[in-house]
Amino acid sequence: MIAQTPKPPYYAVIFRSTRTDGDNGYSEMAELVKQQKGFFGAESARNELGITVSY
């Protein structure tokens, strides 16, 4: 089944990260992205290196 998405155009922001000790505002920024106009979703994966896709 193909996902139902909004009418284009839409964009993805992909970034990688390396966490350090402590949160350093990371969780606050993750919540702020959800408040942006046009936010559709985000997915993350983490081992030693993290990758996040926000669309």
| Residue 3 confidence class, pLDDT cut points 50, 70, 90 | low
CB neighbour list of residue 14: distance below 8 Å, 6 or more residues apart: 51, 52, 53, 54
Which neighbouring-strand residues pair with 42?
A: 54
- What is the mean predicted confidence (pLDDT) over 11-35? 85
Q: pTM of the full predicted structure?
A: 0.68
Name the residue among 46, 51, 48, 47 with its Cα closest to residue 15.
51
26-47 tens-digit pLDDT: 888 888 888 988 888 888 898 8
Output 3 or 42, whichever has higher pLDDT. 42
Q: Per-domain residue ranges for the chain?
A: 13-54
Q: Which two tokens stand for residue 29?
A: 């920024």
Q: Exposed (0-12), middle (13-18) or buried (19+): which is 4, by Cβ within 10 Å? A: exposed
